[in-house]
Chain A
């Protein structure tokens, strides 16, 4: 009974923390988006600015050591939003500092974020080709 409880309860707790923290990051993003829109940015630009600001802030928190501590508690809530992408870029970059600027920081930056860009790009190119063929027949 005790072991069964041990197995199920961390999952529930993890899920709750992931939900709350992930929601909070998105809520913060929405507030920023409204702020940028208020300052006169277009909808699309406002979302890009939100991404850039969150990337900046999450990188700073990573450097200061807050982000990894919080991510241990919040799990997916902090690695699925764009802030997690920023953390995945910044964290290895800081770790690799002592290995030099080119073979250290330069290559480690994309250690975790690389696959995301690679497969995202491949998927988008495949979609582009399909869409092009579709336009040829439809248009």
Chain B
């Protein structure tokens, strides 16, 4: 396809207020994950700007964005993305240690207690069920007190019952921490629980 450029996202202008919860919905291939990657500073946009607070992500290099993510961003992924080499506690401690926080252990323990995994802190990811792994991931995401949390299909790998519990937990913590929540999903019910909904189709916003 020489000479043809593939445009994945076009003309998206979007403002998310601090503390707001937003769902990005759309069919498979509509560009949801790409948008999430850009918003979270995991990817670089070929054009346009992403500004979080006072920071223009486009002006940062990859290491700069990494530092920014560490300080301001939390993630919850569809496939949990826990490090298999570390226990539940160590996984939650990881972002705190990366920021050289002094009381990483105590803080991580407190969050694991809050997600109901107090008794399983020393277990490795493979010793935990899917729901438990996602709870560890949620504890990890909130432990560093991020100002904005990105969740990519957080219930995608879970059965409905477990998924429901996870979502309750996510929203509960979100409320308590006052975090901005950006959530990608194609689950309409889940999207309904957010204050706002952005619908993507072929890379363009069709409904906001």
Q: Do A and B come from one complex?
A: no
Q: Which residues of A contact B (CB under 8 A)?
A: none
